[in-house]
Amino acid sequence: MATPFLKIYDAFLARITADEWTLEEELAIVERDWQELLKIAIFRFKYPRTSLDTQKVETTDSDSNQLEVYEFVDDLTNDEIQLLALYMKHEWVKRCIASWENIRQLYADKDFSQANHLDKLNKLEAAIQVEVRRAEGIYDRSRKKTPAELFRRLAGKK
End-to-end CA distance of the chain: 34
What mean pLDDT is predicted for residues 51-65? 83
Q: For residues 60 and 87, what is the distance between their CA atoms, to the nearest angstrom?
A: 30
pLDDT of 155 above 70: no
Between residues 113 and 77, which one has the greater pLDDT? Answer: 77
Tell me the pLDDT tens digit for each residue of 60-108. Answer: 777 777 878 899 999 999 999 999 999 999 999 888 887 766 666 656 6
